[in-house]
């Protein structure tokens, strides 16, 4: 096993097509041991498909190519068992909807005990003790009494906690959280984010946090990858990206969210929508929506490159520091309706 790399997971040139339509165009992404990486972008950009592909969870009709290494060991193209051993064990994934992970007809305690038996070989009293410890760890009050309840007897936020407890049963090195708080109200969202931060601090597991919510990403993550139309278009530390977004798309995402600090400003949504993967524009995929597009952007596609100051960016005309959005990208009243 090659352990020379400090990365826990390395995705290289990961591509996915459904029925001949390419939706992921070559993703290169590293996750370091214990690191928290955010993945942001509008709906349909390929955030979920990236990790479903990496874990071998896409349906058979999906064509997946590229390399997925865990601790230097290649998983892609290998036997199904290689993925199965890793999933739920060294890498766990939680989703927006807990019902996709919790079985509605099994008591919650039994589900966690089964996960402990599968991934850690625990049975009987030691398994029950560990399940109670996990329930306690994710903040389920009175876990001993609630051990034998069914999922529907818990609230939405508690179900999310139960799903996290199941994910922790395999003592994962990496937890992939795909929009884990989107369906919850704001107070519960904040609690689940706090829980993810606390668990990472306690266990040292790496986290991939997929979200539309840039605020949540900044709380949970150290590094962020911004995706657009099946590609990573900008990558950097949270501090860099939030203080000075360089890609016009990243800048657009920031301009479209309300600020709680600073003067009140009109929000500027990015005009238009994410293109259909079947009909991607020529050149840069973001070009029809971009306030900085020039002629070259319509014929050539920028590749993700490291700029002189070490930022990763795919753009011919990056945004300059404090540059206002140009008038032609400002939305008209009818776009706001
Ligand atoms: N099973 C599938 N069959 C066909 N196309 C799919 C399938 N799953 C995803 N896609 C397509 O792949 C593209 C990327 O989808 P993906 O679910 O990764 O987006 P996302 O960034 O996670 O969006 P969201 O924020 O809405 O979850 C989309 O165009 C989507 O329609
Ligand atoms: S390459 Fe051109 S169109 Fe694409 S984001 Fe940069 S400026 Fe905009
Ligand atoms: Mg998704």
Q: Which two tokens stand for residue 42?
A: 């509008």
What lies within 8 Å, CB to CB, of 108 at 6+ separation is 102, 146, 147, 148, 149, 150, 151, 154, 162
Q: Is the CB of 231 under 6 A from ligand 2?
A: no
Residue nearest to atom 29 of ligand 1 (CA): 44
Q: Give the residue, out of 16, 17, 49, with the most ligand 1 atoms within 8 A of its beta carbon, to mutate for a pocket test.
A: 49
Ligand nearest to the CA of 248: 2
Q: How far apart are CA 40 and CA 63, in angstroms?
A: 23
Contact call for residues 286 and 233 (beta carbons, < 8 A):
yes
Distance CA 261, CA 37 (A): 25
Cα(230) to centroid(ligand 2), Å:
15
Q: Which residue has the tokens 């096993």?
A: 1
pLDDT in tens, the chain (337 residues): 444 568 999 999 999 999 999 999 999 999 999 999 999 999 999 999 999 999 999 999 999 999 999 999 998 877 777 788 888 789 999 988 877 789 999 999 999 999 999 999 999 999 999 999 999 999 999 999 999 999 999 998 899 999 999 999 999 999 999 998 887 788 888 999 999 999 999 999 999 999 988 889 999 999 999 999 999 999 999 999 999 999 999 999 988 876 666 656 667 788 899 999 999 999 999 999 999 999 999 999 999 999 877 789 999 999 987 776 654 344 444 433 3
Q: Is the CB of 87 under 6 A from ligand 2?
A: no
Give the residues across from 93 on adjacent strands: 176
- In total, the chain counts a number of residues equal to 337
Cβ neighbours for 192, distance < 8 A, ≥ 6 positions apart? 157, 160, 161, 164, 180, 181, 184
Q: What is the pTM of this model?
A: 0.91
Instruction: For the chain, give every domain's residue range.
Output: 99-170, 247-336
Report how far ligand 1's centroid is from the alpha carbon of 96 (Å): 14
Cα-to-centroid distance, 215 and ligand 2 (Å): 25
């Amino acid at each position: 096993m090659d352990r020379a790399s400090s990365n826990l997971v390395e995705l290289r040139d990961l591509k996915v097509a459904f029925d001949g339509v390419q939706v992921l165009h070559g993703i290169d992404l590293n996750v370091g041991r214990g690191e928290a990486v955010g993945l942001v972008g509008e709906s349909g950009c390929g955030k979920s498909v990236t990790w479903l592909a990496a874990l071998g969870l896409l349906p058979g009709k999906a064509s997946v190519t590229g390399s997925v290494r865990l601790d230097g060991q290649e998983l892609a193209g290998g036997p199904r068992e290689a993925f199965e051993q890793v999933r739920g064990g060294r890498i766990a994934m939680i989703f927006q909807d807990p019902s996709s992970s919790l079985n509605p007809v099994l008591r919650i305690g039994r589900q966690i005990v089964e996960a402990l038996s599968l991934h850690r070989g625990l049975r009987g009293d030691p398994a029950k003790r560990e399940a109670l410890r996990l329930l306690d760890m994710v903040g389920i009050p009175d876990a001993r009494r609630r051990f034998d309840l069914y999922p529907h007897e818990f609230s939405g936020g508690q179900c999310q906690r139960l799903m996290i407890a199941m994910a922790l049963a395999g003592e994962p090195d990496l937890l992939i959280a795909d929009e884990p708080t989107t369906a919850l109200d704001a107070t519960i969202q904040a609690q689940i984010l706090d829980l993810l931060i606390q668990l990472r601090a306690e266990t040292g597991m790496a986290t991939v946090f997929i979200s539309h919510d840039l605020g949540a990403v900044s709380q949970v993550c150290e590094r962020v990858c911004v995706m657009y139309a099946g590609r990573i278009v900008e990558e950097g530390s949270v501090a860099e990206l939030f203080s000075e977004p360089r890609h016009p798309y990243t800048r657009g995402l920031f301009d479209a969210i309300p600020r709680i600090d600073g003067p009140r400003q009109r929000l500027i949504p990015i005009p238009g929508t994410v293109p259909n993967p079947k009909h991607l524009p020529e050149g840069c995929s973001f070009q029809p929506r971009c306030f900085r597009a020039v002629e070259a952007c319509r014929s050539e596609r920028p590749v993700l490159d490291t700029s002189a100051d070490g930022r990763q960016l795919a753009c011919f005309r990056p945004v300059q520091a404090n540059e206002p959005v140009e008038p032609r990208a400002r939305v008209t009243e009818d776009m706001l309706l």
